[in-house]
Amino acid sequence: MELTMRPRRLRTNQVMRELVRETRIAKSSLIYPVFIREGKNIIEDIPTMAGQKRYSPDTLQKCAEEACNVGVKNLLLFGIPEHKDEVGSSAYAEDGALQQAVINLKKEFPELNIITDVCLCEYTSHGHCGILKNKNVDNDKTLEVLAKVAVSHVQAGADMVAPSDMMDGRVGAIRQALDKNGFADKAIMSYAVKYASSFYGPFRDAAGCAPSFGDRKTYQMDYHNIREALKEAELDILEGADILMVKPALSYLDVISEVKQSFNLPVAAYSVSGEYAMIKAAAQAGLIDEKGIVAETAVSMYRAGADIIITYYALEIAKMIDEGRIG
């Protein structure tokens, strides 16, 4: 048979396959999420997220060293306070766990890019992402507090803030507050497209932030919608976002693709705790090849259009890049 076109010619060996690879992956595009708990000498396992740990500000060095050793230079920090109240006041405390962690990291690891999650759910006694008024989240009152939280993070040394609350106008409020306080050079990675998802379950256990009543569907998005995602992303751009995030990732590859094609900002995909926990559970049961699934799912997010991936598998993916398994 005479065939002119033979696609298999470009699959003959590993070097050839890498030469024509369409999706390129670099360690510099990985962000590793880390939980910081108030206290001292804490390194504790997270039962719902096998392999992940909570650290106190004084033990975070171990985690940072592990990340640096494999070439992951971006950390996304989540704070877990000892005491909570109705208005989440510990979220902007100068001596808060997250603020102290940032100070320590920037002193010991100046090469790291420190990103901080800006939200109130970990800090409020009711577990919602804002200030309550008659059991409803008061959007505009919440904006004032979120702006205060963001400023406290960059005053501690954070390189970037990432508001995850999904309040209307929060990117603009934070941008104005940062600029007013002399931090015009600090970037905002907005959780622009954050869906109300069942994939967040393990995270809420890890951070102790499940709502004590109701749910978050009045501020997080309905997973049936994609045009709404583009509207949210566009609004955040107009308010000053520097990076757009889609969360979760694996069930929202179509959304990642649409956001990437519609806007000119970098797009981050957050592969969330439930995605991580499912792979871990299946691997522990001997049902799948963990490394193979991690590699395949990570590449799918990049292929969909993500420029950045936030993942609890960041360190493992970095090692896979060194091994030549992906990248």
* Pairing label, strands 43-45, 53-55: antiparallel
Question: Does residue 247 carry a catalytic annotation?
Answer: yes
Looking at residues 234-245, what average pLDDT do you find? 97
Give the DSSP letter of residue 92. G
CA–CA separation, 154 vs 151, rounded Å?
5
Helix 290-304 to helix 273-284 angle (10° resolution) is: 150
SS3 track for 23-44: CCCCHHHEEEEEEEECCCCCEE
Determine the pLDDT at residue 166: 93
Domain 23-323, CATH 3.20.20.70 — does that match?
yes
Question: Are 131 and 141 in contact, with CB atoms under 8 Å apart?
Answer: yes
Query: pLDDT tier at 277 (50, 70, 90 boundaries)?
Result: very high
Looking at residues 191-198, what average pLDDT do you find? 97
List residues bridging with 37 in a β-sheet.
80
Looking at residues 304-310, what average pLDDT do you find? 97
Determine the pLDDT at residue 156: 98
Determine the pLDDT at residue 110: 95
Residues 75-132 have pLDDT tens digits of: 999 999 999 999 999 999 999 999 999 999 999 999 999 999 999 999 998 988 889 9
Would the pTM count as exceeding 0.85? yes
Helix 227-239 to helix 253-262 angle (10° resolution) is: 50
pLDDT > 90? residue 39 = yes
CA–CA separation, 55 vs 301, rounded Å?
28
CA–CA separation, 273 vs 177, rounded Å?
31
Looking at residues 268-277, what average pLDDT do you find? 97
Determine the pLDDT at residue 191: 97
| Residue 295, burial from CB neighbour count under 10 angstroms (0-12, 13-18, 19+) | buried
Q: How many CB atoms lie within 10 A of CB 135?
A: 9
pLDDT > 80? residue 163 = yes
* Pairing label, strands 132-133, 136-137: antiparallel
Q: How far apart are the first and last CA of the chain?
A: 36
pLDDT > 90? residue 14 = no
pLDDT > 90? residue 15 = no
Q: Which amino acid is at 302?
A: Y
76-80, 84-88, 221-225, 294-298: least confident range:
84-88
Looking at residues 223-252, what average pLDDT do you find? 98
Residues 41-59 have pLDDT tens digits of: 999 999 999 999 999 999 9
Q: Which of 186, 247, 260, 280 is catalytic?
A: 247
Q: Which of 27, 73, 186, 194 is catalytic?
A: 194
Question: Does residue 194 carry a catalytic annotation?
Answer: yes
Determine the pLDDT at residue 6: 84
pLDDT > 80? residue 182 = yes
The domains of the chain are located at 23-323
Query: pLDDT tier at 19 (50, 70, 90 boundaries)?
Result: confident
CA–CA separation, 167 vs 274, rounded Å?
23
